[in-house]
Amino acid sequence: MLEMIINPKNTEKGAWKMLFIGLLYGSLALLLTHWFFSGDPAFSKAPGLVVVIFCVMFSLPYMYFIIKREEEEDERIEGFLSVWRMHKDAVYALMWLFLGFVIAMSFWHIVLQDSNLLNLQIDTYCRINSPDDVAGCVQRYTSSQGTITGGSVSGLDRTLSILENNIYVMIFTLLFSLIFGAGAIFVLVWNASVIAAAIGIFTKYQLGDIPFGLARYMIHGFPEIAAYFITALAGGIFGVGVIRNGVRNKRFLRVLENTVVLLFIAIIILVAAALLEVYVTPLLF
């Protein structure tokens, strides 16, 4: 019903509208999981995954519509600036959707006071920030509101480590979008839910501190996610281009060239995001 009531075409001329779509779908995902699956013997072991699955199902019509539209436009353009101008509206729309997910998940994660709701995401957070005591970290943040801990690596080594991890996620995003054009939404929703879990930890589950948590993680998180969205678009556009034109058509060569340009833009953004995370965010928070 939702995909019929909220038509993806209605957001074509207003990227900001995707913020409200993200808020709605993110809220529904957490509330439905909390109400119907938190007490289930099987699903209660991984409610964080159920939340992601709900968001993915809700978002697939939008991802499919955006990728299909962008590929059709991609066949008519060439050149670095033209590629960016043509696809920037789609990137903005997906960024608004992502922000809506993060805000909704952070809000309900804190309001419901159910830290187990994003249990897998907290586990991921602990593996990044407390690799020497993952089990203790998970236990602390799924049972109480402990203090935040950070890693001991800093400077150039930390930058390279973060960049390596981000490139790894970028490759998975590309593969997901190549296999199934809209499939990359799984990786992107997962990242939104991990950030929501991190915001809950950072704010010590205090509702009034959500804006500070958003600022803390969005400084470098927004560029990272923008890079992943660009990668998802590139993979989806390439896949649809092969199906529509084959590999011997001149239009396919143009699609291939534009795909490479988009991936290059994504890598540049990831480098900038890693530098922001290591050298700028710690100065402010």
Q: What is the pLDDT of residue 107?
A: 94
Q: Rounded to an integer, what distance in angstroms lies between the CA atom of residue 177 and that of residue 263?
A: 13
Q: What is the pLDDT of residue 277?
A: 84
In the chain, domain spans: 2-284
Q: What is the pLDDT of residue 152?
A: 46
Q: Is the pLDDT of residue 3 over 90?
A: no
Q: Rounded to an integer, what distance in angstroms lies between the CA atom of residue 223 and that of residue 162?
A: 13
Q: What is the pLDDT of residue 184?
A: 75
- Per the model's pLDDT, the better-predicted residue between 52 and 234 turns out to be 52
Kindly list the distances between the CA atom of residue 261 and the CA atoms of 26, 169, 178, 185, 239, in Å, as whole numbers in the listed order: 32, 19, 16, 21, 15
Average pLDDT score over residue span 117-126: 82
Contact of 73 with 86, CB cutoff 8 Å = yes
Kindly list the distances between the CA atom of residue 162 and the CA atoms of 85, 194, 232, in Å, as whole numbers in the listed order: 29, 15, 20
Which alpha helices (DSSP H) does 75-129 contain, by range? Answer: 80-111, 119-129
Average pLDDT score over residue span 45-57: 89
User: Tokens for 127?
Assistant: 């593996």
pLDDT digits (tens, 9 = 90+) for 181-221: 667 788 889 889 988 988 888 888 888 888 988 888 888 88
Contact of 219 with 276, CB cutoff 8 Å = yes
Average pLDDT score over residue span 16-26: 88
Q: Rounded to an integer, what distance in angstroms lies between the CA atom of residue 221 and that of residue 224?
A: 5
The candidate with the shortest Cα–Cα distance to 35, out of 49, 24, 59, 51, is 51
Q: What is the pLDDT of residue 255?
A: 77
Q: What is the pLDDT of residue 135?
A: 66
Kindly list the distances between the CA atom of residue 198 and the CA atoms of 134, 194, 202, in Å, as whole numbers in the listed order: 15, 6, 6
Q: Rounded to an integer, what distance in angstroms lies between the CA atom of residue 15 and that of residue 114?
A: 32
User: Tokens for 214?
Assistant: 């958003």
Q: Which residues contact 119 (CB under 8 A, 6 or more apart)?
A: 46, 47, 48, 138, 142
Considering Cα of 64, then 66, then 67, then 72, what sign does the dihedral take?
positive
The candidate with the shortest Cα–Cα distance to 209, out of 109, 85, 115, is 109
Q: What is the pLDDT of residue 283?
A: 81
Kindly list the distances between the CA atom of residue 67 and the CA atoms of 117, 119, 160, 165, in Å, as whole numbers in the listed order: 31, 31, 31, 25
Let me know the angle formed at the C-alpha of 104 by 85 and 89, rounded to the nearest 5 degrees: 10
